Amino acid sequence: VGFIALIANEVGGLFVDPTSHGTGCGKALMDKANGLHSTLELDVFKANHIGRAFYRRYGFNQKSQSIHEATGQPLNRLIYAV
């Protein structure tokens, strides 16, 4: 119902089937990634309210902001450190 893509400590993507939101699947995937790396980083579009809320609840903090070159959309760089 979901998967996470990791490149070293970079979360390249976290996807959970919408019918499984709120079941703990996303948290379990992040817990696994966190068990592998003490620091995690990722980019999330500012317009992705669901993703940003999930990462905030998990404990990520904003590191920086930029503009996604291909789309011109605001992008937030987040970091999670134990």
Closest CA to 45 of 10, 69, 9, 22: 69
Residue range 59-80: mean pLDDT, rounded: 97
- pLDDT score recorded for residue 82: 76
Closest CA to 30 of 54, 63, 64, 47: 54
| Residue recorded with tokens 């995937």 | 29
DSSP structural state of residue 40: E
Residue range 47-60: mean pLDDT, rounded: 95
5-51 pLDDT, tens digit each: 999 999 999 999 999 999 999 999 999 999 999 999 999 999 999 99
Q: Does the pTM of the predicted model rise above 0.85?
A: yes
Residue range 74-81: mean pLDDT, rounded: 97
Query: Cα–Cα distance between 6 and 31 in angstroms, integer?
Result: 13
Query: Cα–Cα distance between 79 and 73 in angstroms, integer?
Result: 20
